[in-house]
Amino acid sequence: MRFSEYAEEGLPLRDILVIDTHCHLGCSPNPFIPYADENEQLIHFQRSMNRVGVDYAAISMMRGLYTDELEANLDLAEMLKTNSNLLGWATYIPYLSDKSLRIAEQCLSASDRFIGLKVHPEVNDYRIDQEKYAPMWEFADERGLLVLAHAWGANSDPSLFAEIPARYRNMKLLLAHLGGVEPAITTSLQLANRYDNVYLDLTGSLISSRCTLKQFTERTDPDKLLFSSDMTFLGLYSEIGNVLYADIPDSVKERILGLNAKRLLKCIP
């Protein structure tokens, strides 16, 4: 079957590895997210994963981004024990550096399915190139971790990341949303082309920029592009549809949907 036919026939992608690299559990001030209880949310989250055929979803906890409840990461560690298709991001708050990294260390010790750190400079209102992020970069670099960084807005414009990948060569930087809109998208693509350790997360970029996935694959190595949905914040179905219906070979779609992420993640068999 062609990849688009799975969507047209409403079939899960059972024979195709799908790794959703950017997801959340919990609620935010905006937009409205149903099912305020995280465990109830997870039930519906898993139903969506099964319906589409997502093999793994990498979660960060909204409480660990929007509030000082970094213990939410430890709640995620408990969820990973009973949900083998979940991966974890430990959230980092720049104003709570010591606590963030202490809990991140606990998470990494608790499960090898914690794959790195998640940071959101817009939510925390602190620019990504400022000093309170230095401990996070050092922590990730020492351990060879991924860092998923929101990259859309004044505090997280991709241009602000320009010197970070060169300084911390052992960590891998995943720029969320690919910058979102131009000219930030062009900057994100340039960073991916410049640095071996920079990768791009597609969430929201195709809707907001009016660019196509084909254009992205023509401007950077498709191996640098990773599928992501931002579920439950955004919708899994529309985001995966942008890949399934893209005017690119199915072999390239397969890399973007899962094989590129698998290459980066030691915990995926």
Average pLDDT along the chain: 95
CB atoms within 10 A of CB 245: 15
Strand partners, 119: 149
Non-local CB neighbours of 10 within 8 Å, separated by 6+ positions: none
DSSP for the chain reads --HHHHHHTT---TTS--EEEEEEES--SSS--S--SHHHHHHHHHHHHHHHT--EEEEEETHHHHSS-TTHHHHHHHHHHH-TTEEEEEE--GGGHHHHHHHHHHHHHH-TTEEEEEE-TTTTT--TTSGGGHHHHHHHHHHT-EEEEE--STTT-GGGGTTHHHH-TTSEEEEEGGGSSTTHHHHHHHHHHH-TTEEEE-TTHHHHH---HHHHHHHS-GGGEE----TTTS-HHHHHHHHHTSSS-HHHHHIIIIIHHHHH-TT--
Q: What is the pLDDT of residues 92-117, one digit of tens each?
A: 999 999 999 999 999 999 999 999 99
d(CA 202, CA 218): 15
Would you state the pLDDT for residue 48? 95
Tens-place pLDDT, residues 155-211: 999 999 999 999 999 999 999 999 999 999 999 999 999 999 999 999 988 888 888
Q: What is the mean pLDDT of residues 43-51?
A: 94
What does the alpha-carbon distance between residue 264 and residue 268 come to, in Å, rounded to a whole number? 9
- Could you tell me the pTM of the whole model? 0.96
The predicted-structure confidence for 56-84, as pLDDT tens digits, reads as follows 999 999 999 998 999 999 999 999 999 99
CB of 150 closer than 8 Å to CB of 121: yes
Domain ranges across the chain? 3-264
Name the burial class of residue 36, with classes exposed (0-12), middle (13-18) and buried (19+) by CB atoms within 10 angstroms of its CB.
exposed
Measured between alpha carbons, how far is 199 from 213 in angstroms, rounded to an integer?
15
Which residues, in sequence order, are bridge partners of residue 146?
116, 172
CA pair distance 155, 123, nearest whole angstrom: 9
Angle (nearest 5°) at CA 113 between 137 and 45: 110
* Domain 3-264, second-level architecture: Alpha-Beta Barrel (3.20)
